[in-house]
Amino acid sequence: MAPRLLCLGDNVVDRYVDTGVMYPGGNALNVAVHARRLGTDAAYLGVTGDDAAGDLVRSALISERVDVARVKTRPGMTAYADVRLIEGNRVFGHGDPGVSRFVLGPDELADVGAFDLVHTGECSGVEDQLPAIAQAAARLSFDFSERPWEYIAQFAPIADIAIASLPSGEHGTAVDYGLRIAALGPRIVVVTGGPQGAWLISDGQVAHAAAGTGPIVDTLGAGDAFIARFLTGLLREEPSAHALAAATAYATDACATFGAFGHPGAPIETPAPGVEHPAWAQQQPRN
């Protein structure tokens, strides 16, 4: 039986404020989509709203052949994040989690145990549930992104696989940073450094993979593409250093299209009467 990956947590529409187009995204959802493209049996667990943005997110998951049996729709607004591109690099503005937050019930936690690997991260708002998720999961992967050390120190001991980005203000090297995280308990630690590549710390061994090369159109979702390829490699039992190098190359390839995974976008919805206009609507040039 093929290994199974469950990605649980956030989904959003990334609203590109300068073009008026929204794309499906969200860290957990992006990992599920990329993993499925790579041939992994991938499922997504999350909540969307009953609006046009939610329709876009759900249709993207279905078209990408991700298992959507655990996707729920609630009345209300789908989560969103406003995005601007500055020389190809995504810069986030205003956002709202909408109806995306959830609490797993006993049956859902039992279902978690049916997967070989579960992935979530700091954008998903499941921190209070992490001990229960970790207990239910065969293995737990967690994306810390650039969260402060206090956050990492609190939750890294719960994870089997910890993935973090080297903060711009961090003193010392990525290896030092990764070793500090590994000392908290995760068996596998990955530290990403953008154009400097990525580092892997596992069983006391350190490996480095250079960043991939290729055209950079939009960096949104590159980290999630990296995670998906790395986790896919682990599920395939590839040598970890090989999985790391493949992940950096795949992440660069993901930067060649707009949106988190190149899915066609849709016009940004106009806010309903009485709803505060989002940041993008307040930033139109004056006549």
CATH of the domain at 240: 3.40.1190.20
Q: Is 202 part of any domain?
A: yes
pLDDT at residue 170, rounded to an integer: 62
Q: How far apart are CA 118 and CA 43, in angstroms?
A: 10
Burial zone of 213 (CB within 10 Å; 0-12 exposed, 13-18 middle, 19+ buried): exposed
pTM, to two decimals: 0.88
pLDDT per residue of the chain (287 residues) written in tens, 0 to 9: 789 999 999 999 989 888 888 989 999 999 999 999 999 999 999 999 999 999 999 999 999 999 999 999 999 999 998 888 776 566 777 889 999 999 999 999 999 999 999 999 999 999 999 999 999 999 999 999 999 999 999 999 999 999 999 887 565 689 999 999 999 999 999 999 888 899 999 988 999 999 888 877 676 668 899 999 999 999 999 999 999 999 999 998 887 777 667 676 788 875 433 334 343 333 333 22
| 188-191 contact pairs (CB < 8 A, 24+) | 188/160, 188/161, 188/162, 188/234, 188/240, 189/161, 189/162, 189/163, 189/164, 190/161, 190/162, 190/163, 190/164, 190/230, 190/244, 191/164, 191/165, 191/166
Q: Give me the number of domains the chain comprises.
A: 1
Range of the domain at 44: 4-262
Q: Is 128 part of any domain?
A: yes
Q: Is 279 part of any domain?
A: no
End-to-end CA, the chain: 62
pLDDT at residue 279, rounded to an integer: 39
Question: Strand, helix or coil at 144?
Answer: strand
Spatial contact of 185 and 217, defined as CB atoms under 8 Å apart: no
Q: Is 159 part of any domain?
A: yes
pLDDT at residue 257, rounded to an integer: 76
Q: Is 283 part of any domain?
A: no
pLDDT at residue 157, rounded to an integer: 98
Q: Is 28 part of any domain?
A: yes
Q: Is 174 part of any domain?
A: yes
pLDDT at residue 88, rounded to an integer: 58
Q: Is 173 part of any domain?
A: yes
